[in-house]
Copies of this chain bind each other. A is one copy, B any other.
């Protein structure tokens, strides 16, 4: 059994601590929220671990993660290992690894998929870094990943950065999958040829080509709210879709589906579209077509 430090006990980290403990591992958790934290500080966390120490960072991507890495670099030492399991951009990983290497600390980047269901089902894991570091952390990965053959819920994707890169692409695909189901749902709702849309979607869960976990979740959502009309059609994005599209651009890879899914989210958040005001204005100019005046 491994003794592990876990920094960040939000929705994901909290559940991961539960799953790791259930597997018999010793986990010392730290969070700024004292109510869920096992220790009062990063110093205390590091002090409680047996060497060689492993610390898993599960805090928001960007500055919070970068800052946590800097602080832990000062606290950890030769032979220790830091794992970033957050949704960091892959471009952060090389810099993190270099900073830590300066202190003799190893680094792995891990893409973690599965959301709030991971505690029970296990998390899909994609790992970047040195094989020797992957080996050290394997007991943790085995506890976090789903039951079944390891290679179906875990991959060592490549060198530092490859784990987050694989997770980024995974999420880009996820955007496309969700939008595909969403367009089909809207068409079924709009066309009114099918009487019972939730029943049809529920009936796709077995035997069909589109059967998938996202479909199962859509069935769950429709069970709770058959026309989804308790919700607004307002969708945030958390970065990975944007990065996937940037990488598609950088690699000259056509990504019409992933970009369409991202743009649909952007549009969902607009009260009114400047672009469509421009189109309305043009139609009015050339054709005298009616426009809707604000407040009209």
Where the two chains meet, the residues of A that have a C-beta atom closer than 8 Å to any C-beta of B are 11, 90, 113-118, 121-126, 145-148, 151-159, 161-162, 165-166, 169-191, 193-196, 199-200, 202-215, 217-218, 220-221, 225, 228-236, 242, 244-269, 272-294, 296
Q: When the two chains form their complex, are residues A155 and B196 in contact, meaning their CB atoms are under 8 A apart?
A: yes
A113 CB, min distance to chain B CBs, angstroms: 4
Residues of B near A246 (CB, < 8 A) are 246, 249
Inter-chain contacts of A255 with B (CB < 8 A): 183, 187, 263
A205→B209 CA distance, assembly (Å): 15
Q: Is the CB of A284 within 8 A of B221?
A: yes
Given the interface contacts A186-B273, A233-B273, does A146 sit within 8 Å of B206 by beta carbon?
A: yes
- Chain B: minimal CB distance from A266 (Å): 5
| Minimum CB distance partner of A90 in chain B | B193
* CA distance in complex: A262, B256 (Å): 10
Residue of B nearest to A11 (CB): B288
Q: Which residues of B contact A114 (CB under 8 A)?
A: 207-209, 286
Which residues in B have their C-beta under 8 angstroms from that of A205?
A: 152-153
Complex Cα–Cα for A208 and B290 (A): 20
Point out the residues of chain B lying under 8 angstroms from A280, CB to CB.
Answer: 231-235
- List B contacts of A182 (CB < 8 A): 274-276, 278-279, 282
A225: chain B residues at CB < 8 Å are 281
Pair A203/B152 contact, Cβ less than 8 Å:
yes
Q: Which among A122, A171, A212 has the greatest number of chain B C-beta atoms within 10 A? A: A212
- State A234–B289 Cα separation when bound (angstroms): 12
- A115 contacts across to B, CB distance below 8 A: 209, 286-288
Q: Do A281 and B218 touch across chains, with their CB atoms under 8 A apart?
A: yes
Q: A187-B251, A193-B90, A261-B257 are in contact. Are A233 and B275 (CB under 8 A)?
A: yes
A264 touching B293 by the CB < 8 A rule?
Answer: no
Given contacts A157-B199, A254-B263, contact A188 B166 (CB under 8 A): yes
Q: Using A184-B170, A186-B253, A232-B292 as known contacts, say yes or no to A155 and B200 having CB atoms under 8 A apart.
A: yes
Given contacts A126-B200, A155-B202, A158-B196, contact A233 B185 (CB under 8 A): no
Residue in contact with A162 in the complex, picked from B121, B194, B207, CB distance below 8 Å: B194
The 6 closest A-B pairs by CB, nearest first: A176-B180, A212-B212, A155-B203, A233-B276, A124-B208, A124-B207
In this complex, the member of A171, A184, A204, A268 whose beta carbon has the largest number of chain B beta carbons within 10 angstroms is A184
User: Can you name 9 A-B pairs with beta carbons within 8 Å?
Assistant: A155-B196, A177-B210, A178-B282, A182-B274, A183-B253, A183-B258, A230-B293, A246-B246, A254-B264
> A175 to nearest B CB, angstroms?
8
